[in-house]
Amino acid sequence: MADKTATADPFEMWRDWVANSERQWNSFLNNAMATDEFSQAMGRMMDVYLNMQKNMNEVMGRYLQVINVPTRNDVMAIGERLSQIEDRLNQIEGALARMSVPSASGTAAPRATAVPRPPRTKKPAKA
C-alpha cells in the first residue's frame, strides 16, 4: 500500500492519458479517413482548389500581358532554356573529364576540392 502511494504520480497518469487519447483519436480518425466517402469529399475539395487556382492563373496571366510584364510561363520557359544550356555544359565537362581520367601515370583524376584525403586502407574491427 505504501509502495503504491510512493509510485502513484498524477502527472505520470496524465501523460499516459494523453498518449492513450492520441492513439485512440488517431485510430478513430484513420478509420474515418479510410472510407470512400472521405476520399470523395477530398476529391471535391481538390476540385474546388484546382478551379480557383486555374482561374487565378488565367486572370493573372492576362493582367501581366496587358501591363507588358513577363508571365509565369515566360519565366519558366527561360528557366527551361537555361537548364538545357546547363545540361549541355555538364555533358561537355563530363566528356572532357572522362578523356582526362586514364592519365599516363595511372593516377586518379584531379579532385574537386583540396580537403586532405586519408588513405583508403581501413579494415573493419574484428568482432
Partner 1 sequence: MTASASEVSVEERVRQQVERTIQRSIKGLEYISTGDPAVGLTPKDVIYSRGTLKLYHYHPQSDEVYRVPVLLVMSLVSKPYILDLTPGQSLVEFLLKQGFDVFMIDWGIPRPEDSKLKLEDYVLDFIPDCAERVLRDSGEDEVSIVGYCMGGQLSTMYAALHPDGPVKNLACFTTPVDADGMTLFRQWTDKRYFDVDRVVDTLGNVPPELLYASFDMLKPAARVAKNVQLWDNLWNDEFVKSYRMFDRWAADQIPFPGECFRQVTKDFMWDNKFAKNELLLAGRRVDLGNVRIPFIHIVAEHDHIVPYEAARPLVQLVGSEDKKEVMLKGGHVSLVAGGNAIYRLWPQLESWLGERSV
Residues near partner 1, by CB under 8 A: 2, 5-6, 9, 11, 15, 18-19, 21-22, 25-26, 29-30, 33-36, 38-40, 42-43, 46-47, 50, 53-54, 57, 72, 75-77, 79-80, 83, 86-87, 90, 94, 97, 101, 107-109, 111-113, 115-125
- Output 42 or 63, the one with its CB closest to partner 1: 42
CA angle 57, 58, 62 (to 5 degrees): 115
Burial class (CB in 10 A: 0-12, 13-18, 19+), 78: exposed
CB of 91 to partner 1, least distance (A): 10
Contacts of 101 (CB under 8 A, 6+ apart): 108, 109
